DNA sequence: TCTGGGGTCCTAGGACCC
DNA sequence: TCTGGGGTCCTAGGACCC
């Protein structure tokens, strides 16, 4: 039974976002070549082991280069590949400029990621929906210099699937009556929320296309894939009851992780990294006026195996020191004494700072920690913090400062 | 010089309580 | 003495998204 949805939803998706945005920025700065027209990718610094493809140009795609693969392998496919360093401040700016334009069309707008968003409209505009989509697409191209794909349908899932159909600089509709022709022939992994692992398991059931999934027995899917089975079956049938959420939902987790340029082998080195990660988390918590009630530490070893430990806190906190001390303890319990490639710290079970402050009692050191953290926030805001190296120097300095406030929490 | 970083959500199993 | 089940909380791990 397909539920009828009374809304029109547009999905706007920037084509090769990072690459397009870097291209626009380079042209703006007077560079001659448009990197969109040559085999190019956006990729990180391989010497810091950030060597993955974050976005690719259309010519690069013709060499079989895919997002997420290593630059090493991308270069083997295309020896003359141009690799461009990402510039996230440019991306944030371009994203913001696009969102400002989109907001002119409706207040019912949900940003889904840095380069995607959903726009909700009343059913009454249905006849003009495509025209509206085209004008949005062309206006972004004209005013901002990059192209987007637009999907038009009656719910978010179908609008998103529509915008993925053929790229770049295209608009597609995907209303329920078009599902059979436009969506069902696609391979199963092109369905939103069906990744590599699920695609493999579905293929073992002889489910190869989205249509195969749509027509499969939902009870068997539910048995094998639990709630996820029913969800992807609904998606394959174009059913999605979720609303365009114009109000930003509260962040549930704040995390920070880093691939270390060379494997960490000692506890002390690991502690230094955990300290700067903890400070980053603490600062962001305080900026959002939030406290966390749970901390987790993740480790990726040199064989790329990940594991993590987490711990619920007795008292919610936004203190660098408490986060760090907890992370240190978690690390000591988790670490298998093998070379470490990546370390991460995450704070979850977030809640309002003010709520926790009134509900807290018996911890007089909170105010002391607060003043220390806010003093350091000011220093960091003034001088910036970025590189792990620089942070480690600051950490050592902070180590001294912190001794005076140690309360053995 | 092969493989980033930041998120959301779900499940399973154990502890503990009634 | 033995057996049982439901509910909640916590942790670890894994799927997916961009």
pLDDT at A361 exceeding the cut of 60: no
Contact A333, A309 (CB under 8 A): yes
pLDDT tens figures, A63-74? 999 999 999 999
| Distance of C1' in C2 from CA in A119, Å | 62
pLDDT tens figures, A183-210? 999 999 999 999 999 999 999 999 999 9
User: Among residues of chain A, what percentage have pLDDT more than 70?
Assistant: 87
Nucleotides of B under 7 A from a protein CB: 1-12
- The first and second tokens of residue A328, run together, are 């240190």
Which CA-bearing residue is nearest the C1' of B6? A255
- The first and second tokens of residue A305, run together, are 């195996």
Which CA-bearing residue is nearest the C1' of C18? A113
Nucleotide nearest to A297 (CA to C1'): C12
Which CA-bearing residue is nearest the C1' of C9? A312
Nucleotide nearest to A164 (CA to C1'): C18
Distance CA A77, CA A94 (A): 30
| pLDDT score recorded for residue A369 | 72
pLDDT at A338 exceeding the cut of 80: yes
Distance CA A54, CA A42 (A): 5
> Quick one: average pLDDT of A235-248?
96
What residues approach strand C to within 7 A at the CB?
A 17, 112-116, 160, 192-199, 294, 296, 306-312, 333-334
Distance CA A211, CA A283 (A): 48
| Distance of C1' in C17 from CA in A192, Å | 9
| Distance of C1' in C12 from CA in A113, Å | 28
Contact A291, A317 (CB under 8 A): yes
> Quick one: average pLDDT of A214-230?
96
State the average pLDDT for chain A. 91
| Distance of C1' in B18 from CA in A78, Å | 66
Nucleotides of C under 7 A from a protein CB: 9-18
Residue A43: strand pairing partners = A53
| pLDDT score recorded for residue A296 | 98
- At residue A387 the predicted structure's pLDDT band, cuts being 50, 70 and 90, is very low
Which CA-bearing residue is nearest the C1' of B5? A257
Nucleotide nearest to A194 (CA to C1'): C16
> Quick one: average pLDDT of A341-346?
98
| pLDDT score recorded for residue A405 | 46
DSSP helix/strand/coil, A251:
coil
Q: How many residues appear in chain A?
A: 409
pLDDT at A3 exceeding the cut of 50: no
| pLDDT score recorded for residue A404 | 43
Nucleotide nearest to A296 (CA to C1'): C11
| Distance of C1' in C18 from CA in A216, Å | 29
| pLDDT score recorded for residue A394 | 53
| pLDDT score recorded for residue A259 | 97
DSSP A232: H
| β pairing state of A340-348 and A351-352 | unpaired
Q: Which residue has the higher pLDDT, A372 or A395?
A: A372
Nucleotide nearest to A311 (CA to C1'): C11
pLDDT tens figures, A294-323? 999 999 999 999 999 999 999 999 999 999
pLDDT at A215 exceeding the cut of 60: yes
pLDDT tens figures, A49-96? 999 999 999 999 999 999 999 999 999 999 999 999 999 999 999 999
| pLDDT score recorded for residue A353 | 83
Q: What is the pTM of this model?
A: 0.90
- The first and second tokens of residue A365, run together, are 């050191």
Distance CA A324, CA A399 (A): 11
Residue A121: strand pairing partners = A8
Known catalytic residues of A are 116
What residues approach strand B to within 7 A at the CB?
A 44, 46-47, 49-52, 54, 67-68, 70-73, 226-228, 251-259, 284, 303-304, 342, 344, 346
> Quick one: average pLDDT of A310-338?
97
| pLDDT score recorded for residue A1 | 46
- C-alpha closest to that of A144 among A195, A90, A194: A90
| Distance of C1' in C18 from CA in A157, Å | 15
Nucleotide nearest to A230 (CA to C1'): B10
Q: Which residue has the higher pLDDT, A382 or A75?
A: A75
| pLDDT score recorded for residue A402 | 47
DSSP A239: -
| pLDDT score recorded for residue A403 | 46
Which CA-bearing residue is nearest the C1' of B9? A228
Mention every residue, 6+ apart, whose C-beta is less than 8 A from residue A73. Answer: none
- At residue A406 the predicted structure's pLDDT band, cuts being 50, 70 and 90, is very low
Q: Which residue has the higher pLDDT, A291 or A401?
A: A291
| pLDDT score recorded for residue A374 | 73
pLDDT at A392 exceeding the cut of 80: no
| Distance of C1' in B14 from CA in A73, Å | 44
pLDDT tens figures, A22-32? 999 999 999 99
- The first and second tokens of residue A265, run together, are 């082998």
pLDDT at A5 exceeding the cut of 70: no
| Distance of C1' in C16 from CA in A202, Å | 15
Residue in the block written with tokens 């609904």 = A234
Contact A373, A398 (CB under 8 A): no
pLDDT at A408 exceeding the cut of 50: no
Which CA-bearing residue is nearest the C1' of B11? A226
């Amino acid at each position: 039974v397909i539920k009828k949805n009374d809304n029109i939803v547009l999905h706007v998706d920037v084509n090769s976002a990072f690459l397009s945005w870097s291209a626009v920025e380079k042209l703006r700065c007077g560079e001659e070549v448009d990197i969109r027209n040559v085999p190019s990718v956006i990729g990180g610094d391989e010497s810091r082991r950030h060597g993955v493809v974050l976005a690719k140009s259309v010519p690069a795609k013709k060499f079989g280069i895919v997002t997420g693969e290593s630059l090493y392998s991308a270069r083997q496919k295309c020896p003359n590949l141009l690799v461009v360093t990402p510039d996230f401040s440019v991306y944030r700016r371009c994203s913001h400029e696009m969102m400002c334009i989109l907001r002119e069309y409706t207040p019912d707008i949900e940003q889904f990621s840095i380069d995607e968003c959903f726009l909700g409209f009343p059913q009454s505009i249905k006849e003009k929906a495509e025209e509206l989509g085209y004008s949005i697409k062309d206006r972004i191209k004209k005013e901002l210099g990059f192209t987007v794909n637009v999907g038009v349908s009656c719910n978010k899932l179908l609008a998103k699937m529509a915008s993925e159909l053929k790229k770049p600089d295209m608009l597609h509709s995907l209303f329920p009556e078009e599902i059979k022709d436009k969506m069902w022939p696609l391979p199963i992994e092109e369905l939103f929320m069906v990744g590599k692992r699920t695609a493999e398991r579905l293929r073992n059931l002889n489910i190869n296309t989205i249509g195969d999934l749509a027509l499969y027995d939902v009870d068997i899917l539910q048995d094998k894939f639990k709630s996820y089975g029913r969800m992807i079956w609904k998606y394959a049938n174009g059913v999605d009851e979720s609303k365009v959420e114009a109000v930003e939902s509260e962040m549930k987790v704040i995390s920070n992780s880093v691939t270390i340029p060379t494997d960490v082998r000692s506890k002390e080195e690991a502690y230094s990294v955990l300290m700067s990660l903890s400070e980053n988390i603490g600062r962001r918590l305080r900026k959002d006026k939030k406290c966390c009630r749970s901390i987790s530490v993740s480790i990726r070893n040199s064989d790329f195996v990940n594991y993590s430990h987490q711990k619920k806190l007795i008292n919610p906190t936004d203190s660098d020191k408490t986060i760090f001390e907890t992370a240190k303890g978690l690390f000591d319990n988790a670490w298998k004494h093998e070379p470490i490639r990546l370390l991460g710290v995450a704070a979850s079970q977030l809640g309002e700072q003010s709520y926790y402050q009134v509900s807290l009692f018996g911890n007089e050191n909170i105010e002391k920690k607060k003043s220390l953290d806010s003093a350091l926030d000011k220093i960091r805001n003034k001088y910036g913090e970025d590189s792990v190296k620089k942070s480690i120097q600051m950490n050592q300095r902070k180590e001294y400062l912190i001794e005076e406030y140690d309360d053995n929490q």
